[in-house]
Structure 1
Amino acid sequence: MKRMIWPPLYLLMAGFSAACGGKNTAAHVEAPGDEKPAVDKALTVGADVLQNKTPLKKFSAYLDGFHFYNGNLNAQMEAHHYVNQINEDLYQAIIFDGNDDDAKIMGVEYIITPKLFKTLSEEEKKLWHSHHHEVMSGTLIAPGIPEAAELALMKKLVSTYGKTIHTWHTDQHRTLPLGAPMIMMGFTKDGQLRKALVEERDKRFNVSTEKKRKDREDIPLPDVDPLANAWEKGQVRQLMITDKADSAQHKHQGPAPKEP
């Protein structure tokens, strides 16, 4: 049997209005800087025509959901994910603060199946969050595709885990990507995500989170690894900037290069 990657129903997307799945959410910040000069515009057009962008073409799925800063449940924001499936068990996503032409890259997310999650060390698992509640609550959506295709996709995502890092904190109205990158988490229970955020998102996309919740009631709820969502147990892991030397190398930078 041929394994399913993305649900084949994605082919039905043809003919759907672009407004259903994009260009309805402006970027949160306006970056400083002079207007792009004519020569740069010409170079951009030329590069768009002449250069190959194979890696970017693979980011074919669009998901919209919500994150919060690990260790700060009250700092919440909407996140627009453009996803590339590498294989049956591994996905990667570029996260933007909007879906229009001026959207800013906020960060990245890596998504893995339980099969790969089981191979992680105990400490590594604490950096990851589950997607079970995001799917079952209806707050994670795939804008613009038919409901049947979205449901098939959610059945695949419900048991997965994500590791998310934001590099540009546009929710704080920072016009440049300042400060340390931050590890993000996903919501795990009702009442955590601010209702106003969901209502405003639903209005823009003309969707109903409550309807999606009901439509997904029959999706089997997976067993969640107890080491994921470590913030729930007060085990918060977060990145920070430091100028303190740690012997010949910083621990977070990995092994030192071998001598030639």
Structure 2
Amino acid sequence: MKPLSLLILTSLALTGCGANNTPPKTPVPGEKTSAQMRTLETGAQIIQSRPPVDAISAYLDGFHFYNGDKNGQMEAHHYVTVLNDEVMQAVIYDSNTKDARLMGVEYIISERLFNTLPPEEKKLWHSHRYEVKSGSLAAPGLPAAADKALMSKIVNTYGKTWHIWHTDRDKTLPLGIPALMMGFTGEGQLDPALLADRDRRLDVNTSAIKGEREDLVAHPVAEGADAWQRGEVIQLRRVHGSGEHAQGETAHFGTSEQTRKAN
């Protein structure tokens, strides 16, 4: 049997990965790209190598919400790199076209690695069990066999996601500070209109995908994940004084975590 990453790459090449059909909705200020900039871009594409970009091997489409605000929901286009059998990383965009806005990043780790984390760190991570089993996390364009192979690797993993450009809030630039995002864990949480629109655009059938994944082995969610369900919300806030990443006495303004009870 082909290695998982090779299977995914082959499938993507054959199907076109269901992309290039969801343009960004957020305008970007600034002058149109000049002929000089386009020439420089073309030259760089020909001359320079891009190993980290070339390593991206899967396209996943799912949904996130702001930790502490379950009504703040948005679609998230994940472009995933498999680092090894237990660690993946994804760059997240608001669309799947060439001019997509980079919204954030997600780190994905195995259940075994998640269980090694300290309790406070676990609060930052969300489970993928429901997203996979419900079909709301889709791999557009992948044949059923490749989809199942990939999702069998993801169903028992955990993700830590930060969004930096909040395009759902009509921000024309990446304003404000990063936000910790969460994943849905049960029926009735995800806006059905958001899901239906995704299915229409990407030509996927969430109900059918759910049925195909019914026999995937999904473990109970590990203790400590999805802390928002227990009323623990963690987000960044601006504070005076040195932050977590300050060097010596040079920093006078930074960010720190603020934990509060959800309303």
Q: Same fold (TM over 0.5)?
A: yes
Q: 1:256: Cα distance to partner?
A: 4.7
Distance 1:256 1:135 in 2: 44
Match for residue 11 of structure 1?
10
Q: Which residue number in structure 1 is paired with residue 180 of structure 2?
A: 183
Distance apart, 1:254 and its partner CA:
6.3
Offset of 1:15 from its aligned partner? 3.2
Higher strand share: 2
Change (3 A) 1:255 1:133: farther
TM-score (norm. length: structure 1): 0.91
**2-side partners of 1:119 and 1:200: how far apart?**
38
Match of 1:206 in 2: 203
8 Å contact 2:8–2:58 — kept in the other structure?
no
Q: Is residue 89–residue 106 contact of structure 2 (8 Å, CA) maintained in 1?
A: yes
Q: Name the TM-score, length of structure 2 as normaliser.
A: 0.90
Q: Is residue 103 of structure 2 the alignment partner of residue 111 of structure 1?
A: no
In the alignment, is the contact (CA less than 8 A) between 1:7 and 1:149 conserved in 2? no
Instruction: Point out the more displaced range, 132-141 or 2-11.
Output: 2-11
Distance 1:97 1:182 in 2: 15
1:112/1:161 contact within 8 Å kept: yes
Verify: 1:138 aligned to 2:146, yes or no: no
Q: Within 1, Cα distance between the matches of 2:46 and 2:139?
A: 29
Tell me, yes or no, if structure 1 residue 36 matches structure 2 residue 36. no
Question: RMSD between aligned alpha carbons?
Answer: 1.8
Write out the 4+ residue segments of structure 1 that deviate beyond 4 Å after TM superposition.
2-5, 254-257
**1:7 CA drift (Å):** 6.5
Per-residue deviation at 1:152?
Answer: 1.1
Q: Distance in 2 between matches of 1:27 and 1:46?
A: 26
Q: Report the counterpart of residue 245 of structure 2 in structure 1.
A: 253
Instruction: Give, in angstroms, the shift of residue 21 of structure 1.
Output: 1.4
Q: Which runs of 5+ in 1 are unaligned?
A: none
For residues 256 and 191 of structure 1, the distance between their equivalents in structure 2, rounded to whole angstroms, comes to 48
In the TM superposition, what is the alpha-carbon distance from 1:207 to its structure 2 partner?
A: 1.2
Change over 3 Å in CA distance of 1:153–1:254 after alignment to 2: farther
Structure 2, unaligned runs of 5 or more: 250-263
Partner of 2:254: none
**Alignment match of 2:220 (pick from 219, 223, 236):** 223
Question: For 2:47, which of 46, 50, 54 is the aligned residue?
Answer: 50
The structure 1 residue matched to 2:233, chosen from 233, 236, 239, is 236
Aligned counterparts of 1:192 and 1:198: Cα–Cα separation in 2: 11
RCO higher in structure (CA 8 A, sep ≥6): 1
Question: How far apart in 2 are the matches of 1:101 and 1:221?
Answer: 35
Aligned to 2:221, what secondary structure does the other structure show?
Answer: coil
- Residues 13-67 of structure 1 show CA distances to partners (whole Å, capped at 9, x for unaligned) of 4332x3x510110112011000111111111111010011111111121000000
Distance in 1 separating the partners of 2:90 and 2:154: 13
Q: 2 CA distance for matches of 1:7 and 1:190?
A: 34
**How many residues are treated as equivalent by the alignment?**
249
